[in-house]
Structure 1
Amino acid sequence: MGNGILDIGISGLLTAQNQLLTTSHNISNVATPGYNRQQVILNTNTPQSSGAGFVGRGVHSTTVQRIYNQFLVNQSLQIQTQSQSLDSHFAQIKQLDDMLGDTTSGLSPALQNFFSALQDVASNPSVIPSRQAMISNGEALAARFQSMDQRMSQMREGINAQVTSLVVEVNSLAVQLAEINQQITLAEGASGGQPANDMLDQRDELINRLSKLINTDTIRESNGSVSIFVGNGQALVVGSQVLSLKAIQSPDDPSDLTLGLISRNNTIQINEDQVTGGVLGGLLSFRSETLDSAQNALGRIAITLAQSFNEQHQLGVDLNGNMGVNFFTVPSPKVISALTNNPASNITASISDHGALTTSDYQFSYDGTNYTLTRLSDNTSVSTLVAPSGGAPLILDGISVTGATILTNERFRIQPTVNGAKDIAVNIADTTKIAAAAPNRTNAAVTNTGTGKISAGTVNPLPLDPDLQQPLTITFHTPYDGQYDVTGTGAGLPATNQAYTEGADISFNGYTFQISGSPAAGDIFTITPNLNGSADNRNALLLGALQTKNTVENGTASYQSAYGQLVSQIGNKTRELEVTSKSQANFLAQIENTIQSTSGVNLDEEAANLMRFQQAYQAASKIIEMSNTLFDSILRIR
């Protein structure tokens, strides 16, 4: 009986000791990241059968387990990777929103200053300082476009740098996970399958850190290890085996870095659409969803402004009597050959209609049968069975492919507007070359007796008629029969017996005008070159009207409203991300609080446990002492 009581006392002493050690361990790790509270699981020893029934033989510790909820932890990882992605996207787009919406450094003030200077030229067409101010403000406008584009390019470079840095961090965590997988497998194998709690906590903390960087999926293997998958199921860690991520050039745009997975000395690109979480996911989604379209939108405004302004400027004459030249340099589309293309392959792409431009990139490809031009924003495409040429171009949204030397399964990325803001520039420096005047003058002969009046007229859109400035004479028949003759040099001249309709357009030699009222027999009207147009502001007024004319997005928006739409779009997206990010952070905090309430160390509770287990230890010691007393009593029997 003494030995039985002693065994029971010893078992109680040992279990109380284990509980004291575990409680002390909990208290010591109260501030350790990722630590889960542990507890000793107890079970009764096998009782001894006797005639009086089963007599208990004490207690033993079966294991020390973590207080751990796998469901809540998995939910926390999913919410956390989404939260990090939203935070990362928001941090980037906030910079863009601040730049575009700035009332002093944004585009709006520069646009307004340029057109105000143009209005000053219209008011004082012969004043050189006014012309110089227009050129200077044009240069300031171009510089504003360039500086905003440079800021966006710096953001793109910053994303590349962060991708490179984050890939190094992901690979480091992957190596640590593989190492601890091996340690856990060995430790649990050596202990007969007992859980290596502290190592499990360390591994969970590494997985937690990894999920902040990139979306991950985990599979727990039968040997105790965990396999880690990223993206859309690409293995990163399998047991103790590690694969590495690599920052690689995007095959379609080498200026952007994307993710690749190194497998057996091969690098496999990970589709960016599959990287949906973590800081990496936020950076890549900002670049593809926001930065690319914003840079394209700014470039589209610059290209449309340059082209439409140039077209009108070429319809006027300068102080030297010459037809206007391009006021701005119009940027050309950027064409990128895929890294897998033959170096000799190339295509020729240009902008055929600046008003139809979108903010999307395009892909030109050849599958061996069809030559296809695709709008990448929604995969709308046009195709042809023969290689496009100057006579038979392939056109979509104002993008024209007029030549292609391309092999089967090759592709080219066309970015029509990405360099628009970067490459716009003022093309003239000589103030006399500002074409503020109209090329022709209209006159009514002083001898006219009717009430007919001739309008100032307008130049037809480009291309210019070579006979634009050839004199024309309109003479009404005598006797008056409602008809007139047109004489001069040019296509279709002379033109006789033309029926007169009041206010109708009359077009010859690329010039359109109207005659109103009631001309009389023999009345004469003339169109002559504007040889002394220093005080003429007609073309300057038409240039100024472009400020409010809808020339962007197929004639639905002006320069200013198109920029306003860009600012509004980015602002709304920024606000949306801010709200969603805060909401996700609150949701994550709730989940973490729930986890902590279950798995976290509560010092008050542990202090109570410490006292309880101390008393159990003392009580077990008392049992041992009593057993010793009983044994001594037996020895004293004679």
Structure 2
Amino acid sequence: MGSGIFSIGSSAMTATQAMLDTTAHNISNVNTPGYSRQQVELSTEGGLYTGAGFYGRGVKVTTVTRSTNEFLVKEVNVNTAQNSSDQTRLDKLKQLEGVLPTGETGLGYSASQVLNAFVDVANAPQDVSARQVALSKAQDWVSRMNTAGKQLQDLQSGVVSDMQSTVAQVNSLTKKIADVNQAIAKYQGSGHTPNDLLDQRDQLVKQLNQQVQVTTVPAEDGTLSVFMGGGQLLVLSNSAQTLAVVRDPADPSLGRVALATNGSNRILDGTQMTGGALEGLLQFQDSDLAQTKQQLNTFCANFADALNGQQALGIDLDGNLQTTFDASGNPVGTPLFTNTKDAAALTLAMTSPKGLAAASPLSATPATTNSGTAAVSSLAMARALPTGTATDAATSMPTSTTALNVVFATDPSDPSKLVYSFVDANGNAYKDTSPPRSWTPGTAINDADPASTPTGALFNLSITGVPKAGDTIQISRTAYPAANNGNAMAMLGLRDQAIVSLDGTTKTTVTDAYSQMIGNLGVIVQGGQTAADISKTLVTSSEQTLSSTSGVNLDEEAAKLIQYQQSYQAAAKVLQIAQSLFATLLQTAQQ
């Protein structure tokens, strides 16, 4: 009896000690990330058969298990990967938003100031200081465009740097998972689970999901195979693949994720990254940043080319005509801007205020004998002169000694309407205006001739009022270019013209185009913020659910301590009684 009760009491103390140790282990790891609550599994030692039945032989510790739920663990990992992607993208979007300021610091305001500066140039075309102000405004716009373009380049460089840092973390984590796999496999034959190692591996997988979303497949040897969301293997047993960041062959400024194998890098398809920081970086690079860069460069090119085009249709302060070409077909004159396709490289080519082509090569004057109310609103060149053999504008437009007259007459087919024709100084019809063309109020008069090459109009004449039959408007070479403001007025008119097309189809004014850019980016940022908020809520909710299942509850553990303390004391009492009984037996035997 003594040895039996000793054995039973001893097993009770051993089991209770194991439960106390495990409870203390739980309490000490209450704040350890990824720790799962552990518990001791007990079973009876089995009965000892006697003629009077089976006597119990005490308790034994079967194993120590951890409380976990694989479904909840996977849910946390999926939500973690999505939130990491959303938050990474949002952080970059907020940086991108700062590249396109609003108000007076914005690019649209600066562009409008360039055009507004031509008000003073038009009012005083001979005033060099007014011309200098216009150039200063143009330089300010160029500087702002350069800054914005370079900030986008810096953002792109930052994305590549972040990708390299993220991939380095991925490689480190996959190596650690492979090492833990190897350690876990050593204990596979023991029949017991290395709980702390399993927790460590689960935590590493969660951290890996923060960088790139992965799925896991358990193997019979206790190891875990890890795959990227798109199916690319990262970890198999105790070996890990290595990722690298390489430059996109089509655009070296872009970063791509590649698999490093046998000394070479194989670029992975972007669909392999379905979550995590890598996906957020790639989405920002390939979508958000690329779209903003394209729109900024389009905004730059459309506005700069419009001003360059108008500059090419005028005469500078020294009387140099900008609309002619040399014998090779190259334009003569200096454009306002160069490198117009790239905001970061945009340059103000015009340095001399005298070089601004404020004057129109042509002037229009209603005849003093006119009986109608027609007045000239504007006369501007519509295009540069054709190349061909053109080496001087005199061969394609009225000279200083000849003139072209717009002659109005009654429409023979409808006496209530007017027609017009071009007549040279000798009274001969010019281009295709014989028979005359119909005149529509509000429509510009031009010399377009479908039968000639090019077919486009050389000039556009806009008038106000109503002419009468017999009225004429004389179009002649501008005699005093320094005093003419025709092209400056055309420059100013660009304010209200739809000259910018961000999407390549719909054109709008320069200020509206910039507002559209700001609006588009604002919608993207707002959407990114919403996505990050939602995914963060899902992470918090799933982590709380998992914690309620596998986390440590200090109140519960404290209650267990009291329970196990009492059990330990009771087991000790059993041993004390067994010792007393044994002493009694010894005394009896000695008598």
Q: TM-score, normalised by structure 1?
A: 0.79
> Given the alignment of the two structures, is residue 548 of structure 1 paired with residue 556 of structure 2, yes or no?
no
- Larger mean CA deviation between 296-305 and 436-445 belongs to 436-445
- In structure 1, the partner of 2:535 is 584
Per-residue CA deviations over 1:247-271 (Å, capped at 9, x if unaligned) read 1111221211211112333422112
- In structure 2, the partner of 1:413 is none
Per-residue CA deviations over 1:97-139 (Å, capped at 9, x if unaligned) read 1331343432133123222212221222221111000001101
- Larger mean CA deviation between 38-47 and 604-613 belongs to 604-613
- In structure 2, the partner of 1:349 is none
1:486 to 423, 434, 459: 423
**Secondary structure at 1:182 match in 2:** helix
Alpha-carbon spacing, 1:468–1:427, altered in 2? closer, same or farther (3 Å): farther
**Secondary structure at 1:321 match in 2:** coil
- In structure 1, the partner of 2:318 is 320
What one-letter code is carried by the residue in structure 2 that aligns with 1:328? L
- Give, in angstroms, the shift of residue 462 of structure 1: 2.3
What one-letter code is carried by the residue in structure 2 that aligns with 1:213? Q
Alpha-carbon spacing, 1:491–1:456, altered in 2? closer, same or farther (3 Å): farther
Instruction: Map 1:57-456 to 2 at 5 A.
Output: 57-189=57-189, 192-324=190-322, 325=333, 327-331=335-339, 419-446=341-368, 448=369, 450-451=371-372, 453=374, 455=376
What one-letter code is carried by the residue in structure 1 that aligns with 2:27? I
- Larger mean CA deviation between 293-302 and 39-48 belongs to 39-48
The separation in 1 between residues aligned to 2:193 and 2:434, in whole angstroms, is 106
1:517 to 467, 471, 474: 467
Per-residue CA deviations over 1:387-431 (Å, capped at 9, x if unaligned) read xxxxxxxxxxxxxxxxxxxxxxxxxxxxxxxx5212222221121
The separation in 2 between residues aligned to 1:24 and 1:154, in whole angstroms, is 52
1:464 to 385, 404, 409: 385
**Secondary structure at 1:35 match in 2:** coil
- Give, in angstroms, the shift of residue 84 of structure 1: 1.0
Alpha-carbon spacing, 1:473–1:38, altered in 2? closer, same or farther (3 Å): closer
- In structure 2, the partner of 1:369 is none
> Given the alignment of the two structures, is residue 617 of structure 1 paired with residue 568 of structure 2, yes or no?
yes
- Give, in angstroms, the shift of residue 603 of structure 1: 2.5
- In structure 1, the partner of 2:559 is 608
Alpha-carbon spacing, 1:519–1:176, altered in 2? closer, same or farther (3 Å): same
**Secondary structure at 1:280 match in 2:** helix
- In structure 2, the partner of 1:362 is none
The separation in 1 between residues aligned to 2:567 and 2:382, in whole angstroms, is 100
Per-residue CA deviations over 1:303-360 (Å, capped at 9, x if unaligned) read 000112222222222222223345433537xxxxxxxxxxxxxxxxxxxxxxxxxxxx
- Give, in angstroms, the shift of residue 582 of structure 1: 2.1
- Give, in angstroms, the shift of residue 232 of structure 1: 0.9
| Alpha carbons 1:487, 1:494 under 8 Å: kept | no
- Give, in angstroms, the shift of residue 541 of structure 1: 1.8
Alpha-carbon spacing, 1:8–1:182, altered in 2? closer, same or farther (3 Å): same
What one-letter code is carried by the residue in structure 2 that aligns with 1:472? A
**Secondary structure at 1:547 match in 2:** helix
The separation in 2 between residues aligned to 1:576 and 1:615, in whole angstroms, is 58
Alpha-carbon spacing, 1:248–1:492, altered in 2? closer, same or farther (3 Å): farther
- Give, in angstroms, the shift of residue 455 of structure 1: 3.9
What one-letter code is carried by the residue in structure 1 that aligns with 2:234? L
Per-residue CA deviations over 1:175-220 (Å, capped at 9, x if unaligned) read 111111101111333xx12100111111112112111111111111
| Alpha carbons 2:313, 2:384 under 8 Å: kept | no
Per-residue CA deviations over 1:569-596 (Å, capped at 9, x if unaligned) read 1112212222321232222122222222
**Secondary structure at 1:32 match in 2:** coil
Per-residue CA deviations over 1:49-98 (Å, capped at 9, x if unaligned) read 34444332221111101111211111111101111111111111011113
| Alpha carbons 1:472, 1:489 under 8 Å: kept | no
Which has the greater radius of gyration? 2
Alpha-carbon spacing, 1:586–1:32, altered in 2? closer, same or farther (3 Å): same
- Give, in angstroms, the shift of residue 530 of structure 1: 0.4
The separation in 2 between residues aligned to 1:443 and 1:491, in whole angstroms, is 19
The separation in 1 between residues aligned to 2:427 and 2:56, in whole angstroms, is 123
Alpha-carbon spacing, 1:571–1:624, altered in 2? closer, same or farther (3 Å): same
Instruction: Map 1:2-13 to 2 at 5 A.
Output: 2-13=2-13
2:578 to 627, 630, 633: 627
Per-residue CA deviations over 1:160-189 (Å, capped at 9, x if unaligned) read 111112211211111111111101111333
The separation in 2 between residues aligned to 1:318 and 1:282, in whole angstroms, is 52
What one-letter code is carried by the residue in structure 2 that aligns with 1:434? L
The separation in 1 between residues aligned to 2:517 and 2:354, in whole angstroms, is 36
Alpha-carbon spacing, 1:624–1:321, altered in 2? closer, same or farther (3 Å): same
> Given the alignment of the two structures, is residue 529 of structure 1 paired with residue 481 of structure 2, yes or no?
no
- In structure 1, the partner of 2:390 is none
The separation in 2 between residues aligned to 1:303 and 1:202, in whole angstroms, is 55
Instruction: Map 1:40-59 to 2 at 5 A.
Output: 40-59=40-59
**Secondary structure at 2:187 match in 1:** helix
- In structure 1, the partner of 2:328 is none
- Give, in angstroms, the shift of residue 483 of structure 1: 8.6
What one-letter code is carried by the residue in structure 1 that aligns with 2:343? A
The separation in 1 between residues aligned to 2:85 and 2:532, in whole angstroms, is 9
The separation in 1 between residues aligned to 2:181 and 2:498, in whole angstroms, is 64
Q: Which segments of 5 or more consecutive residues in structure 2 lack a partner in the other structure?
A: 323-332, 387-392, 413-418, 449-456
| Alpha carbons 2:317, 2:482 under 8 Å: kept | yes
The separation in 1 between residues aligned to 2:515 and 2:498, in whole angstroms, is 13
The separation in 1 between residues aligned to 2:259 and 2:446, in whole angstroms, is 68
Q: TM-score, normalised by structure 2?
A: 0.85
The separation in 2 between residues aligned to 1:235 and 1:167, in whole angstroms, is 15
The separation in 2 between residues aligned to 1:227 and 1:591, in whole angstroms, is 24
Alpha-carbon spacing, 1:485–1:284, altered in 2? closer, same or farther (3 Å): closer
The separation in 1 between residues aligned to 2:420 and 2:109, in whole angstroms, is 53
| Alpha carbons 1:307, 1:330 under 8 Å: kept | no
The separation in 1 between residues aligned to 2:167 and 2:160, in whole angstroms, is 11
What one-letter code is carried by the residue in structure 1 that aligns with 2:187? A
| Alpha carbons 1:231, 1:270 under 8 Å: kept | no
The separation in 2 between residues aligned to 1:121 and 1:230, in whole angstroms, is 63
Alpha-carbon spacing, 1:441–1:241, altered in 2? closer, same or farther (3 Å): same
**Secondary structure at 2:215 match in 1:** strand
Alpha-carbon spacing, 1:162–1:514, altered in 2? closer, same or farther (3 Å): closer
Alpha-carbon spacing, 1:488–1:240, altered in 2? closer, same or farther (3 Å): farther
| Alpha carbons 2:380, 2:487 under 8 Å: kept | no
Alpha-carbon spacing, 1:454–1:105, altered in 2? closer, same or farther (3 Å): closer
Alpha-carbon spacing, 1:626–1:525, altered in 2? closer, same or farther (3 Å): closer
- In structure 2, the partner of 1:507 is 447
Alpha-carbon spacing, 1:491–1:173, altered in 2? closer, same or farther (3 Å): farther
What one-letter code is carried by the residue in structure 2 that aligns with 1:462? R
The CA RMSD over aligned residues, in Å, is 2.9
**Secondary structure at 2:78 match in 1:** helix
What one-letter code is carried by the residue in structure 1 that aligns with 2:294? N
**Secondary structure at 1:486 match in 2:** strand
What one-letter code is carried by the residue in structure 1 that aligns with 2:403? L
Alpha-carbon spacing, 1:60–1:115, altered in 2? closer, same or farther (3 Å): same
| Alpha carbons 1:178, 1:241 under 8 Å: kept | yes
| Alpha carbons 1:259, 1:270 under 8 Å: kept | yes
| Alpha carbons 1:114, 1:137 under 8 Å: kept | yes
Identity of aligned residues (%): 30
Alpha-carbon spacing, 1:277–1:328, altered in 2? closer, same or farther (3 Å): farther
Alpha-carbon spacing, 1:524–1:21, altered in 2? closer, same or farther (3 Å): closer
